[in-house]
Structure 1
Amino acid sequence: MKTDTLALSVGDPAGVGPEIIAKAWAALRESGPVFMAVGDLQSLAAAGGGVKVRPVTGPAEAAQVFPEALPVLDVPLQSPVVAGKPSSAHAPQIIRCIETGVGLALSGAVAGLVTAPIAKAPLYEAGFKFPGHTEFLAELTAPVPFEGARGPVMMLTAGDLRATLVTIHQSVGSVPSSLSVPRIVEAGLVTAQAIKTDFGIAAPRLAVAALNPHAGEGGALGREEIETIIPAVEILRARGVDARGPAPADSLFHADARATYDAVLCMYHDQALIPVKMLDFWGGVNVTLGLPIVRTSPDHGTGFDIAGRGIARPDSLIAAIRLAAEIAARRNA
């Protein structure tokens, strides 16, 4: 890695991305981390509330410009932006921004990639074939397996809580049939390795959440723990991971419990997201584990309902930028 500069893809230009990027630059211009926005210069200037923007040709120039202006690697849009009104016409540029950021990170030209939120529906209308950001990044980066396990794995962080997900964006009713021993083991192995490399914890402790109330109550409230989760925990332990559980989710997230583990492996979306957002609604961060590049993102969506009103908070994006820089520094070391 030749630079500390991060790339920041702008996401959907009709959302809050351009506004929170400008606000993040204003907050970080003196202290860093340094980042370079990848997106449409004009929409960033329009949403920035008077923030100076300057076109740059690459990360080296961005580092020089950063104290004085928001550096932008310009990816011009082909149609006008209306705040709060997403359009499939913007899809090619949104995708190109992500591809450009990934390419810069893979080449080592930037230290990592932070992605502002995208909206899936306009991309689908334009023929985008991936469920979301994470799956697209996996396709672009071709994650290398670690001990037979391959990312990506989604992690959410808030304060001292790191929560990873076995299943992500699917209905609660479909979760039990989606869980399998290999899937849980893979997520656990990727999580444990990332806790070492990305968070600097040499001997990570992994808590594993149960699916059912009371961890299934010995099978009376469900057999997923007996048939799937316990065997997966046993395999993780046999492979050298300090994995514990399954533990009832209702007793896993209070302060005393969080002190006993370094990450918790959750079975479904809300099992992880509710405690994360309770702990730090504004400052949670989405981290993608198991990629050959560093990738973080704010833990919120495009905010079309408030776009263009100047009230979007940049807290989560700032936290994502800082965490990306920290992980990049650890990997580089």
Structure 2
Amino acid sequence: MIYTNVTRMRSFFILGFPGLSAKYYGHVSALLFVIYLTIAIGNIFVLAFVIYEKFLHKPTYLVFCHLALNDLTFGTVTLPKIISKYWFGDGFISHHGCFTQMFYVHYLGSVTSFILLIMALDRFIAICIPLRYPVLITNNIISVLCGLAWFIPLPMMVTIVLHALTLPYCKSNVIAQCFCDHISITSQACGEEVKIVQLAALCMAMFCLLLPLAIILFSYASIIMVIFKMSNAAGRKRTLSTCSPQIFITCLFYLPRCFVYVANTVGFSFSLDVRILLVLLYSLFPAAVNPIIYCFKTQDIKQTLIKKLKKTRIGIEIKLSFK
């Protein structure tokens, strides 16, 4: 079917939460701004701290830096527009701006999945074959693996965006979401090609999410088996503590997504506001919480921070004593 009346949409409108009363716009924008500040300050701190402390120039913390950079970029790409909508009443985003945001939303999500895979492999080798760890896991090897994590999803996400750009858009220009994503945009398209484009995008997304998840599950299952086989209780606790930050971070990323997908599969439906809130939570909550996990669940970072704080406190006390 050929659509002769289709005009190219010059802009899209970010709907946000459709059921939200206007009197709460200020509160929501302030909350989202605080979340963005938390993401920005937390992840910049992790990047700066690891770069500054040469003691932390190790493969595990190099992976943390890549994840922090990814989380920082994701928050910067998604939050300013929705904050602008509720703070200044500016919910419009240009045609190219919306597709650019869509690319980064899905690209950065895919990169996160592959970085979590590298985290799992790092802990798998460290715990299951520790004698090979110094050879198999070095800074150079981790740098190459993280580079691949950034590169592998790139051609697939470019393909997804180019496919979506070829569709004729003849429905509403309203994006029922807090940011532009593939489903929200292509649901406004017309023609027989829409289902094909959506199916192709789903297959690529599942490849970027489920393939790493399968390897991650295998890695952590192997780690848990090794830990339970240890006869020394103190050794079990110490070994588990070395991989608990990675497990927490991985659960934060995958569990909410799996919950939403399973709920949709079994026919449990959410209202539009709840669905948008869930997507916003599982997209942004890990980016805000991950730096806290790095600092309080990673022994090297936590101990280094405590030492720095003690030195700072002693220094302040000495200065005050001379006044």
* Alignment TM-score, normalising by the size of structure 1: 0.28
Larger Rg: 1 or 2? 2
The structure whose residues are more often strand, as a share, is 1
